[in-house]
Every structure is written in C-alpha cells, then in structure tokens.
Amino acid sequence: MDLANIVGTITAITTMVLCVRSNVSGLSIIQCPGKVLIKPAPVFLVGSNISITCVSMEQNCNISKFELHTNEKKIQMELFNKTAAHYWMVNVTTQDSTIFCYVECVDGERMFLSAASLQSGYPPDQPKDLICIWRYNNMTCTWTAGKQTLLKTYYSIHVQNEITGNKQMFSTTFPTTSNVTVPGDKLEKVSLYKVWVQAANALGSATSKDLTFSIHDIVKPDPPNITKVEFINNSVAKTIIHWRNSTSAKCRFELRYRITSDPGVSWTLVGKNAFHINGNSGHFHNWQPFKEYEFQIRCSLVQNNNYWSDWSKSFIKKTPEAVPVGGLDVWSFCEPVEPNKHRKIIIYWKPLRPQETRGMILGYHIFYRHNGLEVTIQVCNVSETRYSWRTLWAPDHIFISAFNSKGNSTPAVLHIGEANMMAPRNLMVAPAGDSGIYVKWEPPDETSEPVLGYVVDWRDAVGSNNQLFVWKRIPRDNHSLFIGQIFSPQEHGAERRSIRPRRRYNISVTAMYQKGPGRSCSAQGYSVEGRPTTGPNISVIKFAGRQVQLKWGEIPLEKQQGFITNYTIYLKKGADGSYLVPRYVTNADVRTYWLTLDIDTVYIVHMTATTAAGEGAKGAETTIKQDYYSIALPLQLSMGITIPAAFLLTLTFAKTVRRRIKTICKMFLPDWAHEEFPNVENSLVAKRLQIIEEVPCLQSAVLLMYKDPPVTEIEEMLLPINSLIQTVHGNQQLEQTTFEISIPDVPEAHNCDLSEPNEDAETIGYKPQISSSCQLANLSRNGDQSVQKAGSDQAKECKGLHTPTFDRIDEIPTIGVTEDMNISLSCCQNGIPDKYNNYILKKDEGQFPVDEHHRMYVTEGLFQEQTLLPDELVNCLLHSEEDSIDIKSYFPQIVAI
C-alpha cells in the first residue's frame, strides 16, 4: 500500500468518526453537516493553484466563522455568505494532504463540517525501450517508464496479430510495474505481432512506439555453463575454457574476465578474433601469474542477431606461480664499530609489489659474492623486513632477493658504507601539521660523478634502532618531500604509522651515485610541536654564602614534545607562599643557575620548560633553606683544615726545622735507619773532579758506564782462627791484579792514618769503609808491584787461616786504555805515605765501627768494589807468602777517584 492509499484511508476513518451515521432504508449512510468543494480537482498537477470552498448545511448553528485545518495549521477562511467560506491555495506542491472544514457558532460551539484529500502529481511519460523476449515458453516485455508520476499509474501491454487483426491486452499487476509476462499459449509462433505499451493515471495517459516481430525473432537462448579452465605456461601464456550449452542450435559465444583481487577493474571482453572456439571449448593467449581470475561466457543464435543470453555464472580460478620479477627496494644502516671490533649492519627491505611477486613469497635470501661464489648471510622469513648482521669483515656489496616456489627475483644490490662523495646541502625540516613533515634540500656541489637520485629516511628519535624505519627514493630532479604523503597502497600503512604528532624524528637525506651512497646530511623535526608534559627536576649542588647553585637534568625526549627554547625558574617563600619574580634561562643548553637567597628563609623552587607550542607542566618542587650553620660550619671546617696544613707545610719546607727534627730523630733511631746512600753522579767529589779534570779518563768512563747496582747488606762474621790459618811464606808477594787502563798523572794521595788525620783532606760524598790495618790503595803506572812484607810474627800467625777466594771480573776492556794499571794492597798502619801517585778515600771514625775492615779497589770497568773482612784475615792476606788470589769485592756504588 502506497502513501496515497494510507492517507486516503486515514481521511475516510476520520470522516466516519466526525460525521453522523444514519440509516436510510436499512443502509448505513455517513452524513456530514457540510461539504468541501475543490477546483479544478482533488488530484492536480504539481504547482497548480487550488480553490477550496467549505459549505455548511447545519441549520441549528448561527455561524460566526469558518476554519480550515491542514498540516496541523489553522487557517481562517473568507466568508461568502452565512453558509459558505472560501480559501485560495497558490503553487501547491504537497503530494498528499488532507483538509478539514470547521465552523464556530455564535454561542461558542465548534462543529466539524467535512474533509477532503488533495493529491498532486504528474501525467505519465511515454514508455520507452520496449523489449519483448521469448524464453521458457513465455513472452516477457519490459520497458522504461520515465519519471515518477507521484500518482497511481497503470501500464498495459497491447498485442495485435498482424494477420488476423485480433487484439489482446495484458495489464500489470501493481501500479508502476514496468514489465508484463504474456503466456505462450496466447500467441502463435508463426504469426507476426505488433506490440505497444500504454500508461494511464488520473492526470492522463501515454502510449509507446510499436514493436513488430515474430516469435522466432525474440528468442533468447539460455546461458552456457563453464565447466573447466586451464592455464598453459609454454612460450606464450594460454588460457583454455570449457563449457556446456543447453541448446542444440548453432550459437556464437563471447567471453569476458577480470582479476578478483582488484574489484575496481572492469571486465575485459575477449574479441571474437582473439577467442578461438572449437566446439564447446575455446582459448586465448593472456594471463598473469598467481592471480585469481573470474570468467563468464554467453551465447546467441547464429540465425538471430537480436538477443544474447545472460552471462553465465562466474568461474573463478587462480593462475600458477612464476619467478618474481623486479627487485627489492633495500636500504641499510651501519652502527659504529663495537669495542670487540664487530661491525653491526642493519639491512632493511620493502616487500615486492603484488604484480611483481607472481607467487607466494616464501622468504628473502641475503648473500654476498666472494671469488665468484655466493656466500649466504641469512635466509629470512617472509614476515621479516630487516636483518641485523654483526661481522668482523663486511663485503663491499650485499645482495638481497625474494623467492617463491619457482625461483628468486633479481638481486637488489646494497652498497655497504658510503662513497667519499658530496652530501646534499642546506637541509630544512618544517612541520606540516599532524599529517606529516616537509623536507627540503639543495643538491650537492659539483662533483666528478652525477647524482642519480636521493634517499630520504626517517626514524623515531626516541628509543633504539629497532624503532620503525622508513625511507623513500626520490628522483634526481626533486629536492623536496612531504613525509606522510601516500604514493601507493603498500606505503599507506608504513608512512601513516611513521609520522605522529609531538614526536621527534631523525631525518637524513643521502645522495646516490654510481659507486653507491654518498655522505648524508641530517636534521631533526616534528610534524607538530606540543608543550612539555613535565618540567626539569632541580637539585642543589653548591652553597656559597647567600648564593645557591641549582642544577637540573634534561627532560626525557618523549616528554619534551618539541624543541625546548628556554627554562623558567619559579621561586616562592615558604612562609607566606608568595612567588618572587621568575628567572628565565634563555639558553636551553645551560643546566645550572645561581640564586641569591635570604638566610634563615625557606624557599620552594620548581622549573618549567617552553617549546614553540608554549610553556609546559612544572617539574618536581625542591625546598631550600639557607641557615647560619650552613654557612658557618663549612667555614669553620675549612679553617680547621687549612691552619694545620699550613703549619705542616712550613715544617716540611723550612730547612732549619728539618735539620732539628732530623737531629732529634737520630738520637732515638738506630744507625742503619739514617744512613745515606747518595747518588755518586750528584756527589761533590764527582763534580769537583769534572771541574779540575784531574782524572779525565776515569771521569768520562764513570759518567758513561755507571749504573748503580742494588745495595746488598753484608753481615760481618768472625771465623774461627783454626779454620782460617793457612801457610804463608813471609817474603812472598801477593799476586797483583793487572788492569789494562791508562791513568794520567794524578796528585799524591792523602795520608790515611786514622790516628793522625790530615787536616787538608776533604771528605767528599760517600766514604768507603777502610780498615785501619790497610787503608791505602796504590795505583801505579810502572807495571807489577809487590805488597810490602809484614813482620815474620804476623805471617806465622796467619798460616793457620783458610783464605776464602773472591772471584773478580778478568780482562774487562776499558775505554781509551793503552797501559795496564796494577792495584796493590799495602798496609799504611804506620802512617807511611805511598811514594807513588795514589788516591784514597778516608774513613770517618764517627760513622763506621772501628773493628770493620774495608777494602776499595778500582777494576777495569771502572767499578769500585768493597770487601768486608775480619782483621785477622786481612793481615794474613797481606803477609801471605803464597800468591794472592783474584779478588772481586762488592761495592754498591761507583766513585770517581
């Protein structure tokens, strides 16, 4: 039921309720106390002017006014006379409406008179495109009705036999229906018919053009049914279609297909010359690997060119796989060399486009070539788009390919490292709203190789290198990029996810050359900046009188939400909570600030950071109190440490004080604790000999060859006489040790008698310990010399002693030596000075014990040796009749004598 019927029904029900029911001759008649007159008619053309007249037939009402109710509006009508009123409606476009007439009596009573329904619409258009088809033993005619009439419009088919002249009419079942089915038994198949359509409604009627045909001309065959599709991949891709046809008549066929993965692609019709038919099968040469195709076929009778059958049901099948085509889009990121010398290379790639996969991608093969062989680095899963490789050695090129069941794609070449080529210049990064970032740069300066293109990459600055990494290749003539712009469907997800507002991104632009990527230029940027979500945390690091030094750390990058331009320090007194004048730190790189505060006052301080979007949230509050003890106590501690330290330093560096302290220490410490072993090179003896050049040969040799051996403690021990006595011939001389050394003339040695010390003798540097029984070393240039004989009593006394043997260094070559030097042991106990030119170092009685015996020798290497022997053994050696043994005495330091 349409809207007009509904409105009419409601109007009728309302009229029945308001009007009076009466019985006349047994019939129930609805009588209203008035009526409504509508001109030109209750059904009218849209936009017409309508005259409405309400007439009252009520005798018991003295009418004062008429009212017209329409669309919940009350309209006061113009009175004609006491029983009628009029109202004029202009340009009525309302499709369906109902009007009600009321009268109001003088006594105030209100009465309903009558109601009427108004309908506006259009007359029907002429039906067009009349088509009649014979199918399933019936004739179905369809047409195009034209615009809507807004009224009840009925259509009917008129069929006239051209031979007999008989006419038949077949109406539609419902209004506005645009097809009619004529039963086959009402028609004769051999006759010629003329058919037309007639439309009619309350505003008029229209008739279509005639259609003349025979039943044979309007036959439409049933569609074929596709049973099988084959794909042959030989030298040329070939598709074979098999079908089954329901009619035995000779037909012609048409085939169409499309790829189901892209619904926006329209059907492709295979031309009759490209579709080669053989019975109920046909083939054509075209298909793409690993695509899902949808096929449909239709037919028409050869002897009738009027109608094709409907398209058959779709037959869907996927084509087989093939080797992938094209290459992967690859990029890399090299991290700094690790401490263990391993190099980390992160390899990125983008999946192939759907038209390039030509099959189901199973994974990615990463390899390099060495000596003509492929060395696999890793085989990655199909879901992976990155690989991190740690290696001690990296090849110059890495190759990456995608593979399916049929083979590998063309390897993409990845240049490791960067060529020593110029980078782009003047990189500029600007925010471009929430949707992206605008990047612009200038090409590199003129280089020896032309620039092939650019690669722009960006990553989230927060976190590690595992964050999302996106890159895009740009032609050489383009010098800008809007990050976030969508270029293809597969880039949509990655790029939209990669740009988020209030997030910092590291952006780099790299110039590409024939040898590989050149140097890059980098910058940071935001799509849109925000206010910091927190402020810096403050700490107090130093007090200096009334001044306090504050320090704060950097706000975490993810909470900055922009580039910080300045900091603001807010300070308030804790007593009354009043804020002081804020302090502004305009240099965002500064992390410290000095404040001057009152003593014994509590302050509360906090900071905020500001970006281009405005001032952010405040940081944690810190309480500061600068009291008296915080100033006095550090001062007292510093004074307590400084004064004793100054006193100790004065004692340390004052020479007279050191001497007094040393003298006091000597009184309580043993002798060995304060013995001195000076450096002979710095001794006064060596310096004086250098000045007077008395012994140039020895002097130069000592300075060149000296090396202070470690000091060895030698313990003196008196051996029993019975074990040391050895037979010595009284007049026999000791065998002299001969040294090949040239000694220049030297002055006479000083007297070494301890009982009568020579006042002119000067004690210089280290004084070797010389026994009182033998203190003089005789140096001679006259060849062999004998040791003076002692008395016979003394010789006899020593014959029972065993003399230990001391090895010496024999035949040591000397520097610039032409003569031999003999060292003789002589006893100077009687104070007899040596008649030869000798050198002697005196023994200080106050420094060494009296019972020690020391001997000093000069050997070929300019080494001085020291022998510690008991007096008895020394006397025996001096008066022994046997040949003396070679002696190598220990002497820890070298003295130039």
The C-alpha atoms of residue 191 and residue 305 are separated, in whole angstroms, by: 19
Question: Which position has the higher pLDDT, 271 or 752?
Answer: 271
Angle between the N-to-C axes of helices 628-653 and 655-668, in degrees from 0 to 180, rounded to the nearest 10: 70
Q: What's the pLDDT at 626?
A: 72
User: Per-residue confidence at 52, pLDDT binned at 50, 70, 90?
Assistant: very high
pLDDT reading at 498 higher than 70: no
Query: What 3-state DSSP class applies to 386?
Result: strand
Pairing outcome for strands 179-183 and 407-408: unpaired
Q: Is the dihedral of CA 549, 555, 561, 563 positive or negative?
A: positive
Euclidean distance between the first and the last CA atom of the chain, given in angstroms as a whole number: 145
pLDDT reading at 788 higher than 50: no
- Mean of all residue pLDDT scores within the chain: 75
428 Ramachandran zone, left/alpha/beta (phi>0; psi -120 to 50): beta
The C-alpha atoms of residue 654 and residue 171 are separated, in whole angstroms, by: 139
Alpha carbon distances (Å) from 45 to 122, 154, 639: 6, 18, 115
Supply the DSSP symbol for 718: P
| Segment 521-543 mean pLDDT | 93
The C-alpha atoms of residue 597 and residue 614 are separated, in whole angstroms, by: 29
Q: What's the pLDDT at 845?
A: 40
- Judged by average pLDDT, the poorest of 25-29, 460-464, 640-644 is 25-29
CA atoms within 13 A on the CB side of 265: 13
User: Per-residue confidence at 18, pLDDT binned at 50, 70, 90?
Assistant: low
| Segment 392-415 mean pLDDT | 92
Q: What is the 3-state secondary structure (H, E, C) of 275-316?
A: CEECCCEEEECCCCCCCEEEEEEEEEECCCCCCCCCCCCCEE
Q: Which tokens sit at 545?
A: 């009188």
| Segment 140-156 mean pLDDT | 91
User: Which stretches of 676-773 are assigned E, i.e. beta strand?
Assistant: 737-740
Q: What's the pLDDT at 844?
A: 41
User: Per-residue confidence at 564, pLDDT binned at 50, 70, 90?
Assistant: very high
| Segment 605-615 mean pLDDT | 95
Please list, residue by residue across 735-750, b when 16 or more beta carbons sit within 10 angstroms of its beta carbon and e when fewer do. Answer: ebbebebebeebeebb
Q: What's the pLDDT at 236?
A: 83
| Residue pLDDT, tens place only, 93-117 | 888 888 899 998 888 888 888 889 8
Question: Which position has the higher pLDDT, 312 or 889?
Answer: 312
Q: What's the pLDDT at 170?
A: 93
Q: What's the pLDDT at 302?
A: 81
**DSSP conformation letters of 675-688:** -----GGGSHHHHH
Show contacts of 691-696: CB within 8 Å, 24+ apart.
Answer: 694/746, 694/747, 695/743, 695/744, 695/746, 695/896, 695/897, 696/744
Question: Which position has the higher pLDDT, 548 or 799?
Answer: 548
Question: Which position has the higher pLDDT, 428 or 780?
Answer: 428
Separate counts of helices (H) and strands (E) for the chain = 10, 55
- Judged by average pLDDT, the poorest of 77-81, 453-457, 701-705 is 701-705
**DSSP conformation letters of 463-498:** S-TTS-EEEEEEETT--EEEET---SHHHHHHHHHH
| Segment 422-447 mean pLDDT | 90
Q: What's the pLDDT at 721?
A: 43
pLDDT reading at 814 higher than 60: no
Please list, residue by residue across 335-371, b when 16 or more beta carbons sit within 10 angstroms of its beta carbon and e when fewer do. Answer: eeeeeeeebbbbbbbbbbeeebbbbebebbbbbbeee
Q: Which tokens sit at 63?
A: 């009418």
Question: Which position has the higher pLDDT, 355 or 455?
Answer: 455
Q: What's the pLDDT at 225?
A: 95
Maximum C-alpha span of the chain: 200
User: Per-residue confidence at 772, pLDDT binned at 50, 70, 90?
Assistant: very low
- Judged by average pLDDT, the poorest of 126-140, 412-426, 777-791 is 777-791
Question: Which position has the higher pLDDT, 316 or 713?
Answer: 316
Q: What's the pLDDT at 416?
A: 86
Q: What's the pLDDT at 480?
A: 94
| Segment 254-279 mean pLDDT | 88
Q: Please calculate the CA angle 526-529-530 and round it to the nearest 5 degrees.
A: 145
The C-alpha atoms of residue 607 and residue 580 are separated, in whole angstroms, by: 13
Residue percentage of the chain with pLDDT more than 70: 66
Q: What's the pLDDT at 434?
A: 80
Q: What's the pLDDT at 808?
A: 38
CA atoms within 13 A on the CB side of 791: 5
| Closest C-alpha among 548, 535, 386 to residue 470 | 386
pLDDT reading at 210 higher than 80: yes
Residues 583, 593: contact at Cβ < 8 Å?
yes
Q: What's the pLDDT at 750?
A: 37
Supply the DSSP symbol for 754: S
Question: Which position has the higher pLDDT, 710 or 606?
Answer: 606
Q: What's the pLDDT at 425?
A: 93
495-499, 569-573, 666-670, 728-732 — most confident range: 569-573
Q: What's the pLDDT at 497?
A: 56
User: Per-residue confidence at 76, pLDDT binned at 50, 70, 90?
Assistant: confident
Q: Please calculate the CA angle 753-757-762 and round it to the nearest 5 degrees.
A: 115
Q: Which tokens sit at 395?
A: 């090849």
* Residue 543 backbone dihedrals phi, psi, to 5 degrees: -115, 135
* Residue 555 backbone dihedrals phi, psi, to 5 degrees: -70, 140
Q: Which tokens sit at 154?
A: 């009925």
* Residue 817 backbone dihedrals phi, psi, to 5 degrees: -100, 135
Burial class (CB in 10 A: 0-12, 13-18, 19+), 411: buried
User: Per-residue confidence at 421, pLDDT binned at 50, 70, 90?
Assistant: confident
Residues 120, 202: contact at Cβ < 8 Å?
no
pLDDT reading at 781 higher than 70: no
* Cis amide linkage into residue 40, ω under 30° from 0: yes
77-86, 415-424, 702-711 — most confident range: 77-86
Q: Which residues pair with 475 in a beta bridge?
A: 453
The C-alpha atoms of residue 180 and residue 168 are separated, in whole angstroms, by: 13
Alpha carbon distances (Å) from 815 to 114, 701, 702, 897: 156, 7, 11, 16
Show contacts of 351-355: CB within 8 Å, 24+ apart.
Answer: 351/385, 351/402, 351/490, 352/324, 352/326, 352/328, 352/402, 352/409, 353/326, 353/488, 353/490, 354/261, 355/288
- Judged by average pLDDT, the poorest of 158-162, 247-251, 477-481, 557-561 is 247-251
pLDDT reading at 652 higher than 90: no
| Closest C-alpha among 157, 186, 154 to residue 169 | 157
The neighbour count for residue 497, using CB atoms within 10 Å, is: 10
Question: Which position has the higher pLDDT, 841 or 51?
Answer: 51
User: Per-residue confidence at 787, pLDDT binned at 50, 70, 90?
Assistant: very low
User: Per-residue confidence at 307, pLDDT binned at 50, 70, 90?
Assistant: confident
